[in-house]
């Protein structure tokens, strides 16, 4: 969307400098203050916020309108839906802890570790052998994954990976497992790209 686009928002929420999951946490709370049909502008600098907010809106029933880029600043616009349009937020039912995943990796169980964080996050530390596909690219790159394979999905906190698990499960992947607490809870070895 053009940086010269002017969109009237009913509320502006400053999430600059915050990383996942804080823009979502603050947006969820701020939405409670809006009436159905009103628009919130969420200002963020975290590149992952684009996929996070878009995915959150899709899973809750709110209407993601778009994002305006102003240099490093992203201005996300979301319209609050009416109660009839809203969906109950659901979490992917299959989860493991970082410690459980570490045990599976040590036992050489055949599985894929999918890291859905942004490339810079992945570059500085990731689980050895993890495949990097950022959440905002996952739908386009889904063909890189085997739908019959056990896939453990990780992000920084477990939120983006939950959205990725729901997306994959919706596309017919049967063995998709979210790594709770993400890299924040990972105590195993890591490597850099």
CB atoms within 10 A of CB 24: 23
d(CA 63, CA 22): 19
How many CA atoms does the CB half-sphere of 35 hold within 13 Å?
1
Helices 159-170 and 49-60, axial angle in degrees (round to 10): 60
Tokens of 164: 């990725």
Residue 111 sits at the vertex; the CA angle it makes with 108 and 112, to the nearest 5 degrees, is 125
Contact 157, 182 (CB under 8 A): yes
Q: Which of 15, 20, 155, 165 is catalytic?
A: 20
Helix (H) or strand (E) holding 108: none
Contact between 88 and 94 (Cβ < 8 Å): no
**155 annotated active-site:** no
Catalytic machinery residues: 20
């Amino acid at each position: 969307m053009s940086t010269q686009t002017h969109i009237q928002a009913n509320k502006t929420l400053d999430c600059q400098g915050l990383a996942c999951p804080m823009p979502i946490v603050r947006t969820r709370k701020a939405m409670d203050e809006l009436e159905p049909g009103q628009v919130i502008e969420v200002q963020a600098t975290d590149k992952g916020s684009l996929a996070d907010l878009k995915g959150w809106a899709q899973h809750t029933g709110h209407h993601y309108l778009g994002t305006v880029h102003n240099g490093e600043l992203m201005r996300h616009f979301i319209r609050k839906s009416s109660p009839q349009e809203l969906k109950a937020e659901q979490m992917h039912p299959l989860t493991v802890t970082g410690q459980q995943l570490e045990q599976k990796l040590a036992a050489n169980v055949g599985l894929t570790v999918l890291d859905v964080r942004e490339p810079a996050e992945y570059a500085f530390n990731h689980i050895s052998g993890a495949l990097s596909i950022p959440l905002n690219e996952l739908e386009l790159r889904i063909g890189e994954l085997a739908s019959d394979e056990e896939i453990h999905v990780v992000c920084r906190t477990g939120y983006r990976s939950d959205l990725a698990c729901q997306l994959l499960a919706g596309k017919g992947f049967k063995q998709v497992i979210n790594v709770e607490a993400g890299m924040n809870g990972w105590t195993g070895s890591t490597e850099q790209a």
